[in-house]
Structure formats: structure tokens, C-alpha cells
Chain A
């Protein structure tokens, strides 16, 4: 059974201009010990999805759908119950650790407080656990660090402390929203390695929200690509990177400069901008920017199509009747792995 299942999650946010349909029917499942990366560009709804799961949507937001954590349905719960779940059953890691800590409390005390409120530990036990947690997060001189205030920590150190706080009560689920975006690349590598270890060691389910495909490749088991409030592709990380099954994913990967291989003359770009979510398009949201757009794409929204083993794409190119280079039913050529063959023709 899955640790976390999300079905038809929808989030609408009331604004002066109307209701922004930030999340438009997102489905996914996450198993214990698995890392799922929810990846997409700014405004695609990935952070709003995370906030909806955490129960921290802004005022004026309406959330519908079904979110089940360990068999318990979350959305009908009262704010107080959801509050109790945070920390105990789901740990949260945010992009900006400075904003997550109380600047006037010692870091060790803040971690201990989480333990005491959820675990009924004595102050002494909780303090000792906090130091042990910091040590586990490879914070040097943990006992000394625990007595320091957040401003005395570097960004990377504070992010480790935040991970320590998030996993203090050993929650089965960890939601990390852009956990390494504010960090330098050397520190990012260390924090990613730490998260990877925690997932393996404690069989935590990790939901990672990021815009960075490099981070996804480093840590994810499965990838869900989000565009204009919907998932457009889901699959195992290897499959998504080797053979992206949606033109959007393929376009993003082609747009990234590479660290290896020959230098490209020009990078592939995706023309245009994402559609406004105030009045989302009724058909495929990517049709205006898609190099492979067909007339059906502008007329009808695609459903999920199988694109391989546990690999699915929301793209008409995978429809059985869609002709592939004159042949019906063969695999469409979308990603960079295929494009070399295409250019060879």
C-alpha cells in the first residue's frame, strides 16, 4: 500500500482578477522508502500542491480532491488535527531555513520542542535527542551548535538543522520544497546526500519539490513533471531522463546546457509562455508552445497514455492511432535520445 496517495487534487486561489486554478487535478502515489520529485517551472502549481498536502494553503484557497496518508484521509481533518500531523507524521523542509526557525530561540531548543510536543519526552531527553539528531545530520560539534542561535549558523548548516527538526519525530513522510535552491552547489551536494541517506536508512517517503533537473537526477526514484497546474508526465527517473515522453519534458532537458559532451552552438528553446491559470485552456495546456502540436491537441485535453514500464505521459502523440513517421502504433520520437536518430534521417 502506498504511504501517500493524492487523487484529483485541485487548488483554486481567489484573487482580485478571479480564481486562479493553481492545481488542476493532480494524482500520484508515494511509497515508503521512495523519493518522488515533483518538478516544474515557476507558476506551474508544484509549490501549491505541496502546501495543499501540508495543509498550509493561503487564506482564500479552496482545496478539493483526496489526500490519504497511511490510510487516513487528510483533507476533511480540522486545522488542529492537521497541525498535530505536521511534525509527527509529515516532516517539512522549506527553501529558506532562516524563515522556519524562531530567531530568538536556540536551535537545539527548537528541535527539542518538536520532540517534546509530539513525543512527551522530558526536557533533558529531548535535548539529548536534539544533539544526537544534529550529529546525525553531520553538523560538526553538535553539542556546541545546539546552544547557538539560528543567525550563528550558515545557510547550509541551518538547512541541516531544519532536516533534523523535520525528521525528529521519525515521520514516515518528508515533504521538501526546494530544499537546496538557496544553497551553494558544494553545500547542495552534501544536503542531497544527507537526504538520500535518510530515505534509505529510515524508509522515509520523500516528496521533493524542485525546478532543478540536476537535483532530480541526483535523488529521485520517480519523477512527476508538472505544467500549468497538471502533471504531464510521470515515470521512473531513468526512463524520464533517457526518453522523456512529453514534449515539454524533452524541451526542458534540451534547454539545459550540459557539463559534458561537445559544446552546443545554440540551446533548444521552448517558445512562448505558459497559459494563464485564471482561465486555463480546455485542451492541452502546452499546445501553443509544442513543436509537435496536432489539431487534436488544440481541441481536446489528452488523458494519460502508457509510455513504457510505469511511465505515463499526458500527450496525444501516444494515442494508438497517432501516426508515427507514417507508422501507427510505434513509439513516438520525443526526447533527445531519439532526436539524434531523427536528425540522421
Chain B
């Protein structure tokens, strides 16, 4: 099999905390991403999905592990020159539409930045105008300031800035969670269209499972800094293997008042030490074996799960 676009191998990122302890925000994460593929990273707040994405991009130093882009190993600590080389490979779309553009620069100046910084100074104005059009804005918007635009428009400008240098991979950090529903749909449609037109691969960080189901090809589920399950999107929603994935799915409102979620059953979890499965305290299936951390192992085709007691085919979502 040929080398994937991005391969992450045993990546960890720890943060020092007060008292000398280490916060293991990302611990031993491995995955790969093919060209043009949309991979979603889901999990609750604090699960490390944002840290993982930023570590992959080099915004955070790597504590351990390696990242390969088309087989080329990326540095553990980035200097400005490393970012300049990477600008045409990987870019990012940010969550907060208010902070995604510098309020003191015109939209055109913000959009031109990736081009100018990575040394492509030809036809900058034409490219900016072209990209404004592609995200559905008038080219004359280049002379305007960010505060003149709505949240959704700013998010589109953020997407244009991420794509203008022609990267093969764009990390989208909760690109719509700060937006209203009617605007979310515009952004989601835009991302889908750009993916089809440009063939760009997306690493999508999201907590909204319905959105993930709509956009993603493959899903990585994170819990406390580790990947606990990986599966193609259809498989994941039809037959989650990890009890945590199952819990996430079971907690999502169906959007249908006729089928409300059942009362969550109280769970008698298992207290485990630092070496145990992190989910055991909340897990209805925990046994003594869970005192040992389960490895991420293959289940079925293209799927992996880190659990001693995966659900198998027994609990498709429709039964809950």
C-alpha cells in the first residue's frame, strides 16, 4: 500500500502542571489519513482532540512520537522556516469566527498572508479575488475589515485563507460550533464542495455527531487523550464497538419528540489505577481485566477499538 498523506505514529503531548505533574493531553496516538479523505476527531471537551490537531500541525511541540507527511518525517519542534515549508501542505480553520481574522487588517491582507509568507508573491490580488468568489463573497470584500462581516461570513473567509495556498490537508477545529444553525449549513456545504472541487483532505474536530455523520469518511473517537475507537463512519454509527462510543451515540438527541432518549441507567463502574482503562469508571461492561489498559486492535475491516469487551454486533443504535 502506498504511503498515506499523513501518518501519525505514537504521538504524545504532555503539558507540565503546577506541582511538577504532567497533563497527558495526548497519549500514544497513531492514525493515518489518505489524500482527499475526511477524518473526524470526536470526543468530549478535554479529550485532547484540539491538542492532537495542533501537535500534528506543529503549533505544539511533540513530547514523543513521529508525524510523516507523504513519507517525510516532520520536525518535533517547529521554527518559522519549517512552517513556511509546510504552508502549502497543511492549514487550519479555527473555531471562533471573532478571532479568526486580525481586526486591524483588511480581509484582502489577511487572505494574502499565507501566500506572501510562503514566498508566492505573484498574482496575489487575483488569487484573493478568486478565493473570495469561491467562498461566495464579492471580490470587493478584500478592501473591507472583518468587523463588517457576520460570523458565518468570517468563517468562510477563514476557510478561504486556509485554502488559498493550496494545502493538501486542512484541520477544521469545530468550524461551526460557534455559529447559528442556519449559518452552520452554509459552512458545512462549503466545506463539502471544496473537498469535492479541490480534493483537499480534512481533519475535522467536532463534538456534534450528526455533523460528523454528514461530512466524515472515517471517525476517530478520543477519550482522555487516547483514541479508543476508529471506524468508517457508517460502521461507527451502525455498530459502535467501544462502550464509550455507544454512550456518545446513545446520548445524542434524535431530534424527534416521538423517540426521546431513555433515562440513562446508573452505571456501576470500576475504579482502576493509572494503568487501567480510562473509561472503566463509567463503563457498564468493565471487569477485572480492565485494570490493564487495552491496546488499540483491529476489529473487522478498517476498524480499531481499544477495549477488552467490545460490543461486537450486539448493540446497533436502533435498538437503544
| Contact present between A and B (CB < 8 A) | yes
Residues of A within 8 A of B (CB): 41-42, 138, 184-186, 188-190, 192-193, 197, 211-220, 237-238, 241, 251-252, 255-260, 263-270, 273
Given contacts A42-B180, A193-B261, A238-B258, contact A185 B185 (CB under 8 A): no
Structural contact, B189 and A217, CB atoms closer than 8 A = no
In the assembled complex, the CB of B293 is this many whole angstroms from the nearest CB of chain A, namely 21
Contact of A217 among B186, B188, B192, B256 (CB under 8 A): B256
Structural contact, B207 and A184, CB atoms closer than 8 A = yes
Q: Which residues of B contact A186 (CB under 8 A)?
A: 44, 247-248, 251
| Interface 0/1 of B177-193, CB less than 8 Å to A | 00011101110110011
Task: Give the complex CA separation of A259 and B181 in angstroms.
Answer: 15
Structural contact, B213 and A217, CB atoms closer than 8 A = no
Task: Give the complex CA separation of A185 and B174 in angstroms.
Answer: 15
Task: Give the complex CA separation of A217 and B184 in angstroms.
Answer: 19
Contact of A193 among B184, B211, B264 (CB under 8 A): B264
Q: Name the interface residues of B239-264: CB closer than 8 Å to any CB of A.
A: 247-248, 250-258, 260-261, 263-264
Structural contact, B214 and A257, CB atoms closer than 8 A = yes
Contact of A252 among B182, B189, B210, B237 (CB under 8 A): B182
Structural contact, A267 and B261, CB atoms closer than 8 A = no
| Additional 20 contacts, C-beta under 8 A, given A190-B264, A192-B261 | A41-B182, A42-B180, A185-B252, A197-B263, A215-B253, A219-B260, A220-B257, A238-B258, A251-B182, A252-B182, A255-B185, A257-B208, A257-B210, A257-B213, A258-B210, A258-B255, A259-B213, A260-B254, A263-B213, A267-B188
Task: Give the complex CA separation of A268 and B186 in angstroms.
Answer: 8
Task: Give the complex CA separation of A154 and B262 in angstroms.
Answer: 23
Q: Which residues of A contact B263 (CB under 8 A)?
A: 193, 197
Q: Is B150 an interface residue (CB 8 A)?
A: yes
Structural contact, A188 and B251, CB atoms closer than 8 A = yes
Structural contact, A217 and B150, CB atoms closer than 8 A = no
Please name the 9 residue pairs, one residue from A and one from B, whose CB atoms are nearest each other, closest first: A214-B253, A257-B214, A184-B44, A255-B185, A267-B185, A270-B182, A189-B251, A41-B180, A237-B257
Taking CB as reference atom, which chain B residue is nearest A43? Answer: B180
Task: Give the complex CA separation of A258 and B248 in angstroms.
Answer: 15
Q: Which residues of A contact B247 (CB under 8 A)?
A: 186
Q: Which residues of A contact B192 (CB under 8 A)?
A: 265-266
Structural contact, A211 and B251, CB atoms closer than 8 A = no
Residues of B within 8 A of A (CB): 44-45, 150, 180-182, 184-186, 188-189, 192-193, 207-211, 213-215, 237, 247-248, 250-258, 260-261, 263-264, 266
Q: List 29 A-B contacts (CB under 8 A).
A: A184-B207, A185-B44, A185-B207, A188-B251, A193-B261, A193-B264, A214-B252, A214-B253, A217-B255, A217-B256, A218-B260, A219-B260, A238-B258, A241-B255, A255-B182, A256-B185, A257-B208, A257-B213, A258-B210, A259-B213, A259-B254, A263-B213, A264-B214, A265-B192, A266-B192, A266-B193, A269-B186, A269-B189, A273-B150
Given contacts A189-B261, A257-B188, A266-B189, contact A211 B214 (CB under 8 A): no
Contact of B251 among A185, A265, A267 (CB under 8 A): A185
In the assembled complex, the CB of A57 is this many whole angstroms from the nearest CB of chain B, namely 23
Task: Give the complex CA separation of A108 and B185 in angstroms.
Answer: 43
Task: Give the complex CA separation of A212 and B250 in angstroms.
Answer: 17
In the assembled complex, the CB of A219 is this many whole angstroms from the nearest CB of chain B, namely 8
Task: Give the complex CA separation of A193 and B262 in angstroms.
Answer: 8
Task: Give the complex CA separation of A211 and B179 in angstroms.
Answer: 11
Taking CB as reference atom, which chain B residue is nearest A260? Answer: B254
Q: Which residues of A contact B45 (CB under 8 A)?
A: 184
Given contacts A193-B263, A259-B210, A266-B189, contact A252 B181 (CB under 8 A): yes
